[in-house]
Structure 1
Amino acid sequence: MKNSPWMWPMLPTLVLLLAGCAAGSMSQNVTHLSALQCRDLAELRNNAPPTPERNRSELAALRKAGYDPSIRFDPYYPEDLQAAQRQVDRWFQAECQQAPPA
């Protein structure tokens, strides 16, 4: 099988994708959300009034999930925000359900 010239530009992307998959499978015991973030996210999900502290906590979790609100004229908005929200939801389900209530 010949190496197609159109495949060469995709090679770095494929390498990073595979490296990310391998790193993700090795970090099963890593927590992404702090106890404070778990508490604040739980309160926001239960319709507690938003406060500056809760908003900062949620924004920190979204940033950790890859969302960068400082990008002006983001061509991927709102998809990148929604992807980060889904990631935070997964972390919340996996890490915060066992957390003791504050």
Structure 2
Amino acid sequence: MDGHLILRLILSAFTLLLAGCVVGGMPPYTGRHLSPTECRDLAALKSNAPPTFAQHQSELVALRKAGYNPSPWYDDPYYPDDLQAAQRLVDYWFQTECQLPPPG
């Protein structure tokens, strides 16, 4: 293959990829958002017990799933609004997806 044909194929594939993103990309996610480990760790964080590093990591993973992306440069113009929106979504997932044992 010559270079022009390869370039045209790459550009065509890229155009199709962009078109898929504009039209909606992937189908909506219908599965669980939080893993059992994340549910357990988030429940522990809510219990006011001393948190572990692993629990904080689970919380950060859940926040990233909810769309929060902490800036490594501390220059996020949307902070704290973006963090609070992700926290609300994670709280909703926690309430709807995490089965907690009955109290007592």
Specify if TM > 0.5: yes
Q: TM-score, normalised by structure 1?
A: 0.68
The AA in structure 1 aligned to 2:28 is A
- Return 5+ residue gaps in structure 2 as ranges: 1-21
Instruction: Give the secondary structure class of the aligned counterpart of 2:32.
Output: coil
Q: CA deviation at 1:75?
A: 0.4
Q: Distance in 1 between matches of 2:96 and 2:32?
A: 9
Q: Distance in 2 between matches of 1:83 and 1:74?
A: 14
How many residues align structurally? 80
Which deviations, in whole Å up to 9, do the C-alpha atoms of 1:50-89 show, x marking residues without a partner?
1110000000000010000135300000000000000000
Q: CA deviation at 1:48?
A: 1.5
CA RMSD of aligned residues (A): 2.3
Structure (1 or 2) with the larger CA radius of gyration: 2
**Higher RCO structure (Cα 8 Å, ≥6 apart):** 1
> Superposed, which structure 2 residues align to 1:3-82 within 5 Å?
19=24, 23=28, 27=30, 30-72=31-73, 73-82=75-84
The 1:36/1:95 distance shift into structure 2, 3 A limit, reads same
- Return 5+ residue gaps in structure 1 as ranges: 1-15
Q: TM-score, normalised by structure 2?
A: 0.67
Identity, % of aligned positions: 62
Q: CA deviation at 1:19?
A: 4.4
